[in-house]
Amino acid sequence: MNWRAGLGLLCILSWSTHGLGDAPASNADPVPSVMWAFYHKQILNQAPFVFDDRVKLLAPPFAEDARQVPLEIDARALPDVVRILAWAELNPLPRIVDFEPGEQVMPWLSVRIRVEQATPLRAAALTRDGIWHVGSALVDAAGGGCTAPSVVRTQPGWEEHLGEVLGGRYRRQEGSRLRLQIAHPMDNGLVSGIPEFFINQAELLDEHGQRLAALVLYPAVSENPSLGFDVRAPGPTRLVLQDNSGNRFEAAVP
């Protein structure tokens, strides 16, 4: 190799190393998954995104009960969040929620989900500038949470309590936190002989009937779903729910 060729090779290697070093760390998947490109297309429609530590997913490292895995999505560190999508990449039914917090509801949500196996969890928060900010977590599990028979259906008279809401409001420094549980089997259609039957829509309204937040739920949400919201608005609120069979339920939260 003559000295000119050697110099040219050195320049190419130096340029390449410099380029890699300048690549933003937020472009690297924090929980590398072969499914990320698929879900970027299927759920985010290949829109601009960045992996962002400011979107936090809190879940247990190991799911002791794969049918009831607590998940907390916190995007309060981001400005101007208009929508949050969440999914479990290796679930047979991956989508979890589609959450639109209004100005009086913080971009924070808690929910319990089913996981079928160890899986990456994702939450993507859309800010007003059109960028998706993606938070990630890993949860390990023994498996079977999505295909296990419903516990609710084994309880005598469960139909009589369908749609009942338990919970309350807990005052905080900034507004209040709502913790609510809804009686519903949330059947996902994966258990033989039992069709899909789940709550798929929820709205949080203020005392005047104005919408504070909207939520689309999917069958990955656990039976007897638990929901938590952080609300800035003072005064009573009302939760309005509908399942995929058209049943409507309402509950007032003083």
Domains and CATH numbers, the chain: 24-253 (2.60.40.2470)
Q: Is the pLDDT of residue 20 over 50?
A: no
DSSP per-residue string spanning 41-94? HHTTTT--EEE-TTSEEE--SEESSTTSEEEEEE-TTSSSEEEEEEEETTSSS-
Q: How far apart are CA 121 and CA 113, in angstroms?
A: 11
pLDDT in tens, 97-156: 999 999 999 999 999 999 999 999 999 999 999 999 999 999 999 889 999 988 999 999
178 φ/ψ angles, rounded to the nearest 5 degrees: -100, 130
Segment 231-243 mean pLDDT? 93
Segment 25-50 mean pLDDT? 91
Q: Which residues contact 225 (CB under 8 A, 6 or more apart)?
A: 111, 112, 181, 182, 184, 186, 199, 217
Q: Give residue 46's pLDDT band: very low, low, confident or very high (50, 70, 90).
A: very high
Segment 7-19 mean pLDDT? 30
Q: Give residue 3's pLDDT band: very low, low, confident or very high (50, 70, 90).
A: very low
Record the pTM.
0.88
Q: Is the pLDDT of residue 179 over 70?
A: yes
Joined together, the tokens standing for residue 33 give 């998954």
The per-residue pLDDT for 15 is 28
The answer to whether 73 and 109 are in contact (CB under 8 A) is yes
Q: Which residue has the tokens 């990449």?
A: 89
Q: What DSSP designation does 25 have?
A: G
Q: How far apart are CA 46 and CA 32, in angstroms?
A: 18
Segment 21-29 mean pLDDT? 55
What's the gap between Cα 188 and its chain centre? Answer: 17
